[in-house]
Amino acid sequence: METMRAVRIHAYGGREVLVYEDAPRPEPEPGEVLISVHAAGINPIDYKIRAGYAKNWLKHTLPLIPGWDVSGVIEVTADGASHLEVGGEVYGMLDFRRDGAYAEYVTAPAAIIARKPTSLDHVQAAAVPLAALAAWQCLFDLAGLSAGQTILVHGAAGGVGHFVVQFAKWKGAKVIGTAAARDADFVRELGADEVIDYQAQRFEQAVGDVDVVFDPIGGELQRLSWQVLRKGGVLVSTTSISSPEVAAEFDVRGEELSVRPDGTELTAIAELIDEGRIKPAVTAVFPLAEAAKAHALLESGQARGKVVLRVRD
C-alpha cells in the first residue's frame, strides 16, 4: 500500500496527541474522488474531536486524521464522479465521520466537493468551506434571513462570524456585530453597520428588537440574547439551545445548527467570492507538521478569521 505524510491521533487528548507520520494513502470508492491536498482549514471541531468530546457521537476508529476543510487538486476520479475532472482545483467540507485533510491525500464523495473559487489560492480556499457553510445554513436554511431585517452577530470577527457578517450584508440586512475593540475596524470592513465592544458595553443594553441573533458561544451569552429579539424572532446557534424555556417566555424561537457538507451551496459561495462579494480572512498559516501550534492558536481564542495548514506549496 502506498503511504503519505499525515497528522494523526492515536488517542484522545491535548495537542501532544497530534503525530506527524507516515500513513496509508486512501483509495477512492465508487462516486468518490482522490484529492491531492494543498491546504487544510482548521476549525474548533478539530480540537474538540481531538480531545474526545465527540467520541460517543462520531465513534471514530483510531488512528484518525483530523481536519474537515480541504482545498486541493483532483488526482483520481472513481465511477460516478463525472462532474469533476482530474487536475481540477476543488474545495470542500469533508464528512466528520471519516479521516480528514491533515494529510497529503484525502478521499471524498464527489457530491460534496465543488470547484475552487478561481480568485483564491489554496490556502485562502481552505479557510472557506466549513465556516462559510455554517454561516450560510444558519442564516438562510434556519433563520430565513431576508433584506431589511436586523441581525446581531456575536463573535463577528471569528471564523464563522466573519462570514455571517458578509452574507447578511450581501442579503441586504442591517448587521450589528459584537467584537473586542482590537477587531472593531476589521468587523466594520466586513460590512457591519454597528460594532459593540463586548468588553466595554453590555450588548443587551445596547440593542433590541432584532430579527435574528447569531450565537457561536452559548451559555450566559445565549441566555441574555433572547431578550434582544423581537417577538417571533430567531436565535441560531452553532453550539446548542440550552434554554428553550427562556425562548418560549420571550415568544421567540431557537435553532441549533448541525453543519453538513453541501457541494451545491459551496458552488454558490464560490460564485459570490469570485464576484468580490465575500472574502475569507486568514489570520495564520502553519506547515502541516506544526498542526499542534495551529491548534494552540485557535484554542487561545485570539484568532481573527481562520487558521490554515499548508500541505503543499
| Sequence-distant (≥ 6) Cβ neighbours of residue 107 within 8 angstroms | 26, 27, 28, 29, 32, 33, 34, 35
The C-alpha angle with vertex 215 and arms to 213 and 219, in degrees rounded to 5, equals 120
Q: What is the pLDDT along the chain (313 residues), one digit of tens a residue?
A: 699 999 999 999 999 999 999 999 999 999 999 999 999 999 999 999 999 999 988 999 999 999 999 999 999 998 877 788 999 999 999 999 999 999 999 999 999 999 999 999 999 999 999 999 999 999 999 999 999 999 999 999 999 999 999 999 999 999 999 999 999 999 999 999 999 999 999 999 999 999 999 999 999 999 999 999 999 999 999 999 988 888 889 999 999 999 999 999 999 999 999 999 999 999 999 999 999 999 999 999 888 899 999 999 8
Q: Where are the domains of the chain?
A: 3-128+280-310, 131-256
Q: What does the pLDDT read at residue 66?
A: 98
* Residue pointed to by grid coordinates 482522490: 34
195: part of which helix (H) or strand (E)? strand 194-197
> Are residues 84 and 90 in contact, defined by beta-carbon separation less than 8 angstroms?
yes
Query: What is the rounded distance in angstroms from the CA atom of residue 250 to the CA atom of residue 227?
Result: 7
pTM greater than the 0.75 cutoff: yes
Which burial class, exposed, middle or buried, applies to 83 when counting CB atoms under 10 A from its CB (0-12, 13-18, 19+)? middle
| Sequence-distant (≥ 6) Cβ neighbours of residue 185 within 8 angstroms | none
Assigned C-alpha cell, 104? 497529503
Q: Which residues of 177-198 are buried (b: 16+ CB within 10 A; e: fewer)?
A: bbbbeebbebbbebbbeebbeb
Q: What does the pLDDT read at residue 43?
A: 96
So what's the architecture of 3-128+280-310 in CATH? Alpha-Beta Complex (3.90)
* Residue pointed to by grid coordinates 460534496: 112
> Are residues 233 and 214 in contact, defined by beta-carbon separation less than 8 angstroms?
no
Give, as one character, the DSSP assignment of residue 138: I
Question: Which residue type, as a one-letter code, is found at position 274?
Answer: D
* 3-class SS shares of the chain: helix, strand, coil, % to 5: 35, 30, 40
* CATH classification (class only), 131-256: alpha beta
194: part of which helix (H) or strand (E)? strand 194-197
Q: What does the pLDDT read at residue 221?
A: 94
Which burial class, exposed, middle or buried, applies to 17 when counting CB atoms under 10 A from its CB (0-12, 13-18, 19+)? middle
* Residue pointed to by grid coordinates 485562502: 124
What is the DSSP pairing of strand 150-153 with strand 210-215? parallel
